[in-house]
Every structure is written in structure tokens, then in C-alpha cells.
Structure 1
Amino acid sequence: MSSLVAHTTIDAHDAYALSEFWKRVLGYVDLDGDPNLPGHEECMIRDPETGHRLLFIEVPDDKVVKNRLHLDLRPRDVGREAEVERLLALGAMVVADRRVDGGAGWFTLADPEGNEFCVLRSQDELDAAGVAQP
């Protein structure tokens, strides 16, 4: 027996604003027939290709420590540095630069509410470096 991940939930102070940020980051969309609107306490978005869903739900608690679970993003159409610049323009903040000599490593960023996520090298960058990734 096993379970299926129905969606990934992210706590937020403003579910709508955070869902809008992540829609731009990931290219996700609102659910058909269930658009997210300002003031909604729960906002779900989905990947139009895979169907993966993220649910943003309003909670009164402040984020106070490092996330125990986070997303690792691999840019689709640009390199890691260009994607980091795009995300910063959308409102992300740099938490740490974990790049190392030779191009390996990642950037740790935070969304507008402080939730950390990482930006890895693109598949094209990995291929050019001869690095196999699962």
C-alpha cells in the first residue's frame, strides 16, 4: 500500500498574494472554475502540464525558523543565474549563494513571506558540464 500526494500546502499570511507570486514563478494556473481572488483564505494553483497542485492557506502564525521542507527549482528555458534574476524581480529574496567553483551548487531564495526554496542549474547547464541528474 502507498499514498498519493494530493497537493503541497504552504502556510501564508496572504494566500492570494503568495499564490500569485508562485503562479508567476512556476507557470501554474488557477483551478478550472475556481479562480483565486483577493481575500480568499485558501488558494490552490496547478501545473497545467502535470496537474501538480500547491495550496496556499492562511494561518495566523509567523514563520520563525528555516523550512523543514522546501522546493528545489530547475529552470526550464534559461540558466540558473538568469532565473535567479527573474525571481528577484518577482519579489524573491536571496538567502544564500551556495554555488561552488565549477558551476555546481545552488541559490537559496525566499518568497515574499520568507519561505525558502532553491534554484538549481538548468538541465542544459548540467548537460554542458557532463553531469548526470536523476
Structure 2
Amino acid sequence: MGAFWAYLSHGGSGAGEHLNPGGLLAKGQEFFAVVQGLAGLAALGAGLATAAYAILLVAGRVHERRLTERYWRASRDHFIAPEELTDECRLLLARGQQATTTVMRSHVHRQGLIDKAHNEVALPGHE
């Protein structure tokens, strides 16, 4: 790029005459300095935006995890683990799970001949 500035300063002939009307060289250099400064600011802004996004992402995940933990603590008394069931209740649970699986794998369910959307939402909730 130095040859370009030399050309602007001394003209194309190289004879040393000054063909820089109105400070064209200085204006060109000033323009490129401003562009370079703006590019630096843009890079800094992009870096700050990326850092802010990462912080918000981490904070959101921490908040989500706390809500999930709070939900499970609050609803602990409303759920029963299969190992807490009597043998008779485990058999009923197994029958219900088998019925759900049978419906979900059936031809009429896969073809949408029965209320597919309702079954996919409601049946797992009944287990």
C-alpha cells in the first residue's frame, strides 16, 4: 500500500512534482484510519455481545435447573416409585404400560385413524 501513497504524493511520473490537490493523501489516510478504528470498535462490540450472550445463557440454565429442582421438591409427595408398589400394584402398572405401548405401536395409531395427538399426550400421563 506504500506505493499507492507514494503515487498520490508524487504523482504517476515519479519526477517528484507534487500532485496532491486539496490534501488528497491526508484525507485518504484519515479515511482509512477512521475505517480501521470503526472495524476495531465493531470487533470489540461483537466480542462484548458474545460474552453477554454467554452470561445470559449460563444464567438461564442455572435458573431453569433451580426451577426444576424446586418443582421436584414440591411434588415429591405426589409421585410413587415402582419399587414402592405392592406386587399386585406392580402388575397393574405393567398392564397399563403394556396397553399404552400396544396402542402407540398399533397400525391405526400410526396411520392416524384414531386421535393420535391426544394419545401421544394423554396415554403416557396415565402410567
TM-score (norm 2): 0.17
Q: Looking at both structures, which has the greater relative contact order when contacts are Cα pairs under 8 Å and sequence separation is at least 6?
A: 1
TM-score (norm 1): 0.16
